[in-house]
Structure 1
Amino acid sequence: MHRLPDIRTYRGKVYRYLMYRYMQYRERDAVLKIFNEGSSRSGKTYDAFDFLYDICTLALSPLNIFVYRNTLQACKEITLADFRKKLTLRGVYDPDAMRSENQHPDYYINNSVIHFRGLDRMDSREGYDCDIIYINEMLDDISKQQYKNITMRCTTMVIGDWNPKYTEHWAFELEGQPHTYFTHTTYKDNPFCPPGVIREIESYEPTPANIAAGTADEWRWKVYGLGIRAAKEGLVYPNIDWIDEFPSDLERVVFGLDFGFTNDPTALVRLGLRGLDLYMKEEFYAPCSDPALLYDAIEGVVGRMPIFADSADKYAKNPESMVDGLLLRGLSVVKAKKYAGSVTDGIHMVKSFRLHIVRSRNFQTEANSYVWDSVNGITINQPIDKFNHLWDAARYAVMEYLYWVCNRRK
């Protein structure tokens, strides 16, 4: 029988790479960035915690480290729990070193501190001065803007990890940038992966035996077994023709506008018709809670052309309605009607056209991530409420105008 290494002293593949690059960059005037992409149970998260603990114990001066996840609840219930479990397995966890565990947990190691935070409890413009940042499950509802804001004050090192459950995501753009490195691991790199978990992961592989048993799942096998990027099943809009330019000879051209105020982006989409062919182009994609600033950003794009906008247009910190603010400044804006079932109805209206979309990173990310929701593994006739900002903007314009223009001609 194969003998397992001592978990108290074992350091995995990702740990060794993190430590190698960290030591290499100690004297460099650059922020080191390492992103760990891999399958389920590959050991990448435990390796990151081993690394953070060890550099805190070795540090000659105090380190200020932030560990982030998309929500504070997930950070406490999953990421912090993994941290505690890993240090306990090593025999070094000290419960007295944990402070504010039920609110904003901080763990002290000598004079260094590791803060555990959720990005849902932070304003998108905020970031903290720190030496090192670790973003756990970086593909889970963490925007590019949030990433930029939390890393801009980091002085030494940024670490991220994820299961590669998409084929398009803004995080993949980081590969190849200066001082940036990607690693890849699978469950086979983790000698402590339990046999039952291995059997579960390997049951996804589309072998004849697994297909006959009904456990085969190609997407899960690629993502959680092989640790390679794969597009989700159940996409709301699976059939898209990606194009390079928005045509200049379309019959009708209008705009759709979906509001986002802090973490979510405001999305502006240009749409045009040619028969049953619907063309779209992303024109604006960033959080914006001030109608004056939004006007300045989009007026040169939309001019006096009609805009069909989100009716949920008020932000608590700015009582002025976004639509009213844009109307007062001279834009032609109509609020889209919302009712029970309007999202699903609008999706069917959009899908009644052949879709041609100008290629952009944000649109491709949403297209590869916007899926039908499920309950207990059963798909329902309702999409998830994520990765839908550009799609919602387009849906407003189609529901309020383009669908009816097209159908009047039939």
Structure 2
Amino acid sequence: MIGIPSFVIASEGESIHHVSAEVCASCHQDIYKQWKGSMHAQSTALKDPIHGTFYQMVVGSPTEEGVLHKASGKYPICLQCHAPNAAIDKTTKLDAMAAYSEGVNCVACHTLKSYKGIEGKDGKLQLGLKAYDVADTLQAPAGIQDGVGKLASAGDDLFGGAGLGESSQTPNPHLGEPVEYEGQEVPALPMEANPRLMKTSDACMGCHDQRNNPHGVPLCQTGNEYIASGSEVNCLSCHMPIANGIADHSMGGGHDPAMLKRAVVFDVSTEQEGDNLTATVYLKNQLPHAMPTGAPFRNLYIKLAAYDDQGNVVWQNAEGHPAESDPQAYLSYALADDEGMPAPPPTATKAGDDTRLKPHEERELTYEIPAEGVVLVRGELFYNLLWPGLVKKFNHLPTDLTDPVLIAEYEEDVAVN
């Protein structure tokens, strides 16, 4: 993608939305490293090749000022989620400042004050930052709860409130004054507790609930799926688990193989019936949203093969990708035009077939396999970020984004009678 130049990091007196994550890294090094490797840190068209490709198609260059959404002629709605600090300033030149290029950085999330929902009063969706009241102070799950300590220190307590409240001697910009830390000037970054937002799914839904295209066709719709699941376990429980005392800011999702491998229970069983084997592929979506979810071009597919005692494939459910020859093994959300033909997200006028796994859904696929010579049946479940057609079309993308990822496999030994 486009090269990222050096930036000016926000200084005292500038908007908090100009504060780079590099400032936060001074103290929060482990969290910063996790965030730096996350898709939140790669969310802009400068850094995410897939988003960048679509952005160039529907908007234009992310390094030019004043570009507009080509279809609507308005400020690009994409930036409300993918570059929220830039959206606050109504700029489209994302290489002008670190806080813009960093996408969903520390202050982008930690200045969300309250969630208004994505349904606007005019019936239109209000997405990304538009779904929130935004503060000019940092919002935290707990904040600094030192009121009792201050009261004790001001009273006649013999020990001056020792052991209560803020006990660290490290300079802390969250107390409201600029500090010098390890030779660097850190601006005042006052912080207040906001557990109702920062410890709930409200922190996520502005960007991850639902996104429609200009024709009103749902594209991303994770929030609706989550609501349909009836789950009361919030997004943070899976995507920001606590480890070593801190919430994991790598926020794994569709780009994280480890998260993907935990998502689906997958196995294969076989039973001989005369000259055939009946193979049953079992899938269970363990997630409180569809699998896959998010961008509509994400998909799953299943490959099933039978082997002889020499390791040769003697049967398979599909040669190559099963989208055409074994559609039940292809799990995707299709978009269509008025004639029902496949259409890309920006121009689709209606939803097509949705064969993805619904929240917590269990599904079985059955296959009849000639039993002769078969000693093993192997099933594989693959995840892909792009539809097969887009993989061919976007041949400029790196292979780690276009190649399928094996997220589950199961082998069943066959004792043929």
TM-score bracket for the superposition, by shorter chain length: under 0.3
The TM-score normalised by the length of structure 2 is 0.24
Higher relative contact order (CA 8 A, sep 6+): 1
The TM-score normalised by the length of structure 1 is 0.25
Rg comparison, structure with higher value: 2
